[in-house]
């Protein structure tokens, strides 16, 4: 659709712009809630920065793992690398993309480690931040739609890309799976925000989000047309991760419920 936008004579991808908008909106809303929950603004800013770094690393790392054949090919032909710039170009091809689940897991791990080191209340921070994860994802998926990545299957209902940087996406009508996922993420955001405002599920709001999103993502994958993302046993990488996250979330909720009953 609109893969690139010119800003001050600089060409920037529409995806990048939407992600930046998402970060700014989510950051503002999280910081705005600090006063209500007696959280220091500076601590929240640092926490968000740390989780963002984890998100970036995790997203690119999982993208590289999904494209493990390229890593194997690079190692096998390492003797053909004649310059550092050639190596950087190959690494950019392998790790240049990003997978949401990698970013989510990377952000969670970074946030957990930072919370342990600084001895902050991770459950309180999770309660404040979690509703805004799907809001950030909403902006990201709008960016995907404009850029032309994460495109849908060929469909009678949809849009035809003509300027997507991913050549195979162009020329046929495709189901707007990015917009569907954006809308569903917006729905999850509203639901979690209601829980937050009612002070419900304070200890388990992150688990509820993970369970909801993994369930939705599993079925959304059937409408994705970018089949280069990696498959195993007939399922995409994201579907396998969705199953694992959903099962772990259910087990955690059952276990926490039993622990709560024992305390009562």
The distance from CA 73 to its chain's CA centroid, rounded to whole angstroms, is 27
Average pLDDT, the chain: 89
The first and second tokens of residue 262, run together, are 């024992």
pLDDT at residue number 229: 66
Q: Which of 64-68, 236-240, 243-247 holds the top average pLDDT?
A: 243-247
pLDDT, one tens digit per residue, over 14-25 is 888 999 999 999
pLDDT at residue number 1: 65
| Higher-confidence position of 234 and 260 | 234
pLDDT at residue number 259: 66
- In the chain, DSSP finds a helix count (H) and a strand count (E) of 10, 6
pLDDT, one tens digit per residue, over 106-123 is 999 999 999 999 999 999
End-to-end CA distance of the chain: 56
pTM of the full predicted structure? 0.89
| Higher-confidence position of 72 and 28 | 28
Mean pLDDT of 224-228: 81
Contact 173, 154 (CB under 8 A): yes
pLDDT at residue number 124: 93
Q: In this structure, which long-range contacts are made by residues 239-245, counting pairs with CB atoms below 8 Å and at least 24 apart in sequence?
A: 241/101, 241/214, 242/101, 242/214, 242/215, 242/217, 242/218, 243/214, 243/218, 245/210, 245/211, 245/214
Least confident of 26-40, 54-68, 188-202, 226-240: 226-240
Least confident of 44-53, 85-94, 193-202, 217-226: 85-94
177 CB-near residues (< 8 Å, 6+ apart)? 150, 151, 152, 153, 220, 223, 224, 225
pLDDT at residue number 264: 47
Q: Give the domain ranges of the chain.
A: 4-202
pLDDT at residue number 42: 92
pLDDT band of 2, cuts 50, 70, 90: confident
pLDDT band of 86, cuts 50, 70, 90: confident
pLDDT at residue number 30: 94
pLDDT at position 230 over 70: no
The distance from CA 263 to its chain's CA centroid, rounded to whole angstroms, is 36
Please report, rounded to a whole number, the percentage of residues in the chain having pLDDT higher than 90. 57
Q: Which of 79-83, 88-92, 105-109, 164-168 holds the top average pLDDT?
A: 105-109
pLDDT, one tens digit per residue, over 251-260 is 998 887 766 6
Mean pLDDT of 50-78: 88
pLDDT band of 179, cuts 50, 70, 90: very high
């Amino acid at each position: 659709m609109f893969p690139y936008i010119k800003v001050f004579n600089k060409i920037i991808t529409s995806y990048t712009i939407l992600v930046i908008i998402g970060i700014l909106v989510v950051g503002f809303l999280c910081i705005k809630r600090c006063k209500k929950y007696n959280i220091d603004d500076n601590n929240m800013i640092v926490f968000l920065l740390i989780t963002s770094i984890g998100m970036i690393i995790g997203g690119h790392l999982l993208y590289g793992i999904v494209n493990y054949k390229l890593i194997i090919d690079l190692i096998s032909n390492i003797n053909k690398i004649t310059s550092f710039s050639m190596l950087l170009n190959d690494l950019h091809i392998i790790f240049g993309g990003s997978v949401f689940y990698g970013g989510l897991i990377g952000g969670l791990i970074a946030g957990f480690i930072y919370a342990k080191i600084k001895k902050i209340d991770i459950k309180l921070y999770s309660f404040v931040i979690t509703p805004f994860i799907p809001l950030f994802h909403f902006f990201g998926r709008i960016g995907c739609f404009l850029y032309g990545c994460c495109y849908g299957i060929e469909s009678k209902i949809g849009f035809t890309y003509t300027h997507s940087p991913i050549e195979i996406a162009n020329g046929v009508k495709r189901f707007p799976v990015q917009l569907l996922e954006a809308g569903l993420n917006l729905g999850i955001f509203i639901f979690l925000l209601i829980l937050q405002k009612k002070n419900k599920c304070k200890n388990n709001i992150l688990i509820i989000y993970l369970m909801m999103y993994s369930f939705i993502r599993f079925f959304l994958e059937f409408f994705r047309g970018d089949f280069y993302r990696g498959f195993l046993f007939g399922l995409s990488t994201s579907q396998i991760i969705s199953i694992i996250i959903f099962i772990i979330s259910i087990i955690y909720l059952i276990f926490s419920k039993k622990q709560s009953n024992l305390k009562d």
